[in-house]
Every structure is written in C-alpha cells, then in structure tokens.
C-alpha cells in the first residue's frame, strides 16, 4: 500500500469488488484500515460505487442473479467483519438514507429475492431490518413501530400469498401508521397494476430497481 494514494486504493477495492474477488477485497480493506483510511471513506468511495456498477452490469444483462447474490454476500461480510467493528472503535457512523423493514409475506417461504434486495439496499446506505420469511402483518407493524421505519418492503413469490400484501397494508392502516411509511412490493407474480390495486406506493421488478425506487420514495438522490 505504501506509496499509493487513497484514490488508487479505493479504485483497487472497487475493481476487485466488481470482479467479485472476496479474498482480495478483504485484504485491500484490511490494508487500508491499517494505513488509517476511514471505514466511511472505504464504503463511500469504493464499495458503494462498486455496487452501483454491479447493478448496472445486471441491468445490461452482463451479470445475473448469481452475481448479485455473491456481491451482496461480500458486501455484508466486509461490513460485518471489518468495517463496522472499525467504525465502532472510531466512534464514527455511516450516514443512513432511511430505514427499511423488509420481509416475505405470511405463508411464503421464498427468501432469495428478498435477501438480495436487502443486501443491495444496505449497500446503498439504507438501514435494513430483515424480518425473514412467512412474516405476519402484525410482525410488520411491530417492526415499523420499533425501528421507526420509513419504508416497508413486501415480497411474495406465489400468487396465493401475494394477497397477503394487502393485509399488511390494512394492518398498517389500523395501527395508524400507513401515512408514516411508504410501501414497496415485488416478487415474480407481482405487477405494477397489482401494487396500485392494493394501495402500495411502489413496485420494483428487481433488487437494482428496488434501490432506485426506495431513494425516490424518500426523495434521495
């Protein structure tokens, strides 16, 4: 690392992240931290731009679902193992875009799509509360209250369970929370028309679009 500028280090991390080389990414981040580079800068100047590029490659059809899964996993690993501990030590914080409560609705056990969306949102700067699968409307409501969420993300992969999305929205209304949160829905059988029909605020067809939609819902660039 000696003799290299911070910018060169950031570019190197970004390049290896886009290439999905987790070993190299970890090594470079460890070296950068030892050199005194701030964890926040590593996230903002290398990891986030890399995730944006990975999202663009996915949109172009050059990367597929498998690559998005791997990218999300690498991002989570380096955050949990290296960057968050370093942040706690330094007392600094990464700026949050907002808080998203996400889950697969009641009766549905499909996890992968929802997990990729959660990873991509984290990488974009959202705090994500992932409630997992088979989540009841009451649990969504509870989490919105507990974490003061800005957005609720609902996922379903079965036509039989997507109707549960409406129940979550109804439950949010009953709890007096509907006007305090934006609701975004997605999953294989879900359509923009269905989203409108059940009173959701937005629909996203994949993880990359979900990030953009969530930013728009909170009017963040």
- Average confidence (pLDDT) per 10 residues, the chain, 221 residues: 78 98 97 93 94 93 92 92 90 87 97 90 94 98 98 96 97 98 96 98 95 91 45
Domain containing residue 86: 6-90
Instruction: Tell me what pLDDT residue 221 has.
Output: 45
Nearest CA-CA partner of 101 in 5, 195, 172? 172
If asked whether residues 210 and 104 sit together in one domain, one would say yes
Do residues 42 and 55 make contact, with C-beta atoms less than 8 angstroms apart?
Answer: no
If asked whether residues 36 and 82 sit together in one domain, one would say yes
DSSP 152: E
Choose the final residue of a domain: 61, 90, 119: 90
Instruction: Tell me what pLDDT residue 146 has.
Output: 98
Instruction: Tell me what pLDDT residue 92 has.
Output: 76
CA atoms of 63 and 129, how far apart (whole Å): 26
If asked whether residues 45 and 139 sit together in one domain, one would say no
Instruction: Tell me what pLDDT residue 79 has.
Output: 93
Residue with tokens 């501990």, as numbered in its chain? 85
Residue with tokens 């990367």, as numbered in its chain? 63
If asked whether residues 119 and 169 sit together in one domain, one would say yes
Query: Does some domain include residue 10?
Result: yes
Query: Does some domain include residue 1?
Result: no
Instruction: Tell me what pLDDT residue 2 has.
Output: 54
Q: What is the pTM of this model?
A: 0.84
If asked whether residues 192 and 111 sit together in one domain, one would say yes
If asked whether residues 153 and 204 sit together in one domain, one would say yes
Alpha helices in 106-185 (DSSP H): 112-124, 137-147, 164-174
If asked whether residues 123 and 37 sit together in one domain, one would say no
Instruction: Tell me what pLDDT residue 85 has.
Output: 93
Do residues 108 and 133 make contact, with C-beta atoms less than 8 angstroms apart?
Answer: yes
Q: Which CATH number is 209's domain given?
A: 3.40.50.280
Instruction: Tell me what pLDDT residue 94 has.
Output: 79
If asked whether residues 212 and 170 sit together in one domain, one would say yes
Instruction: Tell me what pLDDT residue 1 has.
Output: 46
Query: Does some domain include residue 77?
Result: yes
Instruction: Tell me what pLDDT residue 3 has.
Output: 64
Q: Which CATH number is 20's domain given?
A: 1.10.1240.10
Q: Please count the structural domains in the chain.
A: 2
If asked whether residues 84 and 104 sit together in one domain, one would say no
| C-alpha distance from residue 197 to each of 44, 185, 194 (Å) | 38, 12, 5
Query: Does some domain include residue 13?
Result: yes
């Amino acid at each position: 690392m000696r003799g290299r500028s911070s910018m060169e280090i950031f570019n190197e991390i970004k390049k290896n992240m886009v290439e999905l080389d987790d070993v190299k990414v970890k090594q470079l981040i460890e070296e950068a931290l030892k050199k005194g580079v701030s964890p926040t800068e590593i996230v903002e100047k290398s990891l986030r731009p890399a995730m944006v590029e990975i999202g663009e490659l996915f949109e172009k059809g050059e990367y597929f679902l498998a690559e998005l899964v791997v990218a999300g996993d690498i991002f989570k690993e380096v955050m949990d193992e290296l960057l968050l501990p370093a942040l706690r030590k330094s007392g600094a914080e990464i700026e949050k875009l907002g808080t998203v409560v996400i889950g697969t609705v009641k009766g549905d056990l499909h996890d992968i799509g929802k997990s990729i969306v959660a990873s991509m949102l984290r990488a974009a700067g959202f705090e994500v509360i992932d409630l997992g699968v088979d989540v009841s409307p009451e649990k969504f409501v509870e989490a919105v209250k507990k974490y003061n969420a800005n957005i609720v993300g609902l996922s379903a992969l079965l036509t039989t369970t997507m109707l549960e999305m409406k129940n979550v929205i109804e439950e949010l209304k009953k709890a007096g929370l509907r006007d305090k949160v934006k609701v975004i829905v997605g999953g294989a059988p879900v359509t923009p028309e269905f989203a409108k029909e059940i009173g959701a605020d937005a629909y996203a067809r994949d993880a990359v679009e979900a990030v953009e939609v969530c930013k728009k819902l909170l009017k963040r660039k």
